[in-house]
Amino acid sequence: MNKNKILVTGGTGLVGSAIKKQFEDNINYDFLFLSSSMCNLLDYSATLKCFSEFNPDYIIHLAANVGGLFKNLSQPVQMLEDNIQINSNVLKVAHEIKVKKLVACLSTCIFPDKIQYPISELGLHSGPPHDSNASYAYAKRLLQTQCEAYKKQYNDNFVCFIPTNIYGPNDNFHLNDAHVIPALIHKCFLAKQNQVPFVISGSGRPLRQFLYSEDLAEIIVNFCNCINNNEIMIISPDEKDEVSIEYVGRLIAKEMEYENFIEFDENKPDGQYKKTASNAQFRDYNPQFDFMKLENGLKTTITWFLENYPNIRK
């Protein structure tokens, strides 16, 4: 039996690691989990050589220069230029080696700041994104435009998915550059270790939908074999599962047995207040999918963090 060959860019990151955990031993697939040390996706020639040697049937494109609110604010040039270059090289090579399908990862931060909620796929280009992450957001918007252009001109099967805030084991737990959940886990750990307050940046009032990495891994690998899925689809838990940053912080503190030492630094920016996303298209595609409950996902993630500290990405 011939296995489907799947190349995963960003293969050692949060979602790539989740795909590896769930599917590496699957008899139907042969994976290449690509890391930045294996191939510099900023270099077109290196990208072409690497992809051509593996000759994948499918590409799952996860690689990006990515980070949380404070990285977006402090490194807008790198967030824009690196991501445009990476995406251009990956799509151009995918076209040249004639992959059956490319599935590319976007982000809900690409949607307009001023938009009617819940966000749907149709609202993507209806206004500018929030100023706090404009560079990254425009680079990711352009990735969707590039996929659509290749489809229109060459009939390439390039599709995009838009996950809400992803978290889970193997995340980047950097205190300043990470996304909110891994950064809060690391902050709470250090606060407890040093017996100082667990300080949450901002008011804690902004609302988010959080998506467990292993849920997303299962969904996007299944996308590779799905012929008729839409060109762009939001992947998100249901709207009722949207929670505040304060709620998340208190869950983390409770799990780490440090819940009576929380403070909020309201001198720090909150970023976008809400990004409530509709998963109606996804529910049409997979109505029975059971998303991981946040409490359970946080417990698993914190357990992994404690077992692997200090040898984590931070």
Domain ranges (residues) in the chain: 4-308
Is residue 67 predicted with pLDDT exceeding 80? no
Closest of 239, 62, 260, 50 to residue 166, by C-alpha = 62
Residue type, 162: I
Any catalytic annotation for residue 136? yes
Q: What is the pLDDT of residue 71?
A: 82
For the record, the structure tokens of 284 come out as: 């049409």
Q: What is the pLDDT of residue 279?
A: 95
Mean pLDDT (whole number) for 2-13: 93
User: Phi, psi (5° rounding) for residue 305?
Assistant: -60, -50
Mean pLDDT (whole number) for 153-158: 95
Residues 29, 58, 136, 285: which is the catalytic one?
Answer: 136
Mean pLDDT (whole number) for 27-45: 95
Mean pLDDT (whole number) for 165-179: 90
Task: Break the chain down into helix, strand, coil percent, rounded to 5.
Answer: 45, 15, 40
Q: Which residues 6+ apart lie within 8 Å of 185 measured at CB?
A: 173, 252, 256, 301, 302, 305
Q: What is the pLDDT of residue 27?
A: 86
Q: What is the pLDDT of residue 274?
A: 86
Q: What is the pLDDT of residue 285?
A: 87
For the record, the structure tokens of 256 come out as: 């780490």
Mean pLDDT (whole number) for 304-314: 93
Q: Which helix (H) or strand (E) holds 44?
A: helix 44-54
Q: How far is CA 23 from CA 28, 29, 31, 236, 312, in A?
A: 9, 8, 9, 21, 22
d(CA 196, CA 188): 9
User: Phi, psi (5° rounding) for residue 257?
Assistant: 55, 50
Percent of the chain with pLDDT strictly greater than 70: 98
pLDDT band at 151 (very low <50, low <70, confident <90, very high): very high
For the record, the structure tokens of 127 come out as: 């206004």
The residue ranges of DSSP E strands in the chain, in sequence order, are 4-9, 29-33, 58-61, 101-105, 158-163, 165-167, 198-201, 207-208, 210-212, 232-235, 243-244, 262-265
Q: What is the pLDDT of residue 179?
A: 86
In CATH, what is the architecture of 4-308? 3-Layer(aba) Sandwich (3.40)
For the record, the structure tokens of 218 come out as: 């299962």
Is residue 73 predicted with pLDDT exceeding 90? no
Mean pLDDT (whole number) for 218-241: 85
